Copies of this chain bind each other. A is one copy, B any other.
């Protein structure tokens, strides 16, 4: 598949794991925009993609910040004036480490970090990309897609993960609402439950599934799943799937 000259993809939330792999995978088909809070997060993968003869553009922006996101999309319009959006991946983590603590040791700030990163962030991203995806429905060869990275905590609470689970579950149900609203209009909204620890490969070759340590999830395998979701025919959309290492207890 040649890289599209009419459509691009955007990956919000790029680090060394899922975001990087998804950006590489989608760059096989589309010019890819990488959004991250700091250039350190995307600069290596942007270089890696561009070196391979494909196209990637890194933009520094906090996806949970409405105006930063707005300005990012203005930049995209300048950089890729004739391209429409085919796929948007929301893979953003809250902007500080999650607070894995007993409930009574948590502060409202811990809660805010989770809600802001998971729910506000996805809300803002959704409001920015859904109109662009709707605008691509008539012409995109593959159904325009909004894909969200969920986790075990998206489905259930637990002793130490109370605020993380509150944020992830709210994000999941928000994504489900969007699927119900925009599926009939032709946009594919899908949520992936990543149930296990993700391997962070220390090398740059692709794919490296075979070198994934037993019990961890290969980010390349996640990327394949996201690509598959994007390719699903509109008569058979998946709204949610789980992904876990074959040895994972569940």
Contacts and interface: CB of A to CB of B under 8 A. Distances in A.
Contact of A157 (B165, B180, B212): B180
A234 B250 contact: no
Contacts of A115: 115, 119-120, 170
Contact of A178 (B103, B123, B171, B232): B103
Given A158-B177, A166-B119, A224-B233, A143 B183 contact: no
A217 interface: yes
A73 interface: no
B247 A243 contact: no
Given A157-B177, A225-B238, A236-B244, 20 more contacts: A102-B181, A103-B130, A111-B119, A119-B170, A157-B179, A166-B173, A168-B173, A169-B173, A180-B249, A184-B247, A186-B246, A188-B246, A209-B235, A218-B233, A218-B236, A224-B231, A234-B246, A236-B243, A240-B241, A241-B241
28 contacts: A103-B127, A103-B182, A104-B130, A108-B123, A108-B124, A115-B119, A156-B176, A157-B173, A157-B176, A157-B179, A159-B177, A159-B181, A161-B177, A162-B177, A169-B173, A183-B247, A184-B247, A212-B235, A217-B235, A218-B233, A220-B233, A221-B233, A221-B236, A224-B232, A224-B236, A236-B245, A237-B244, A240-B242
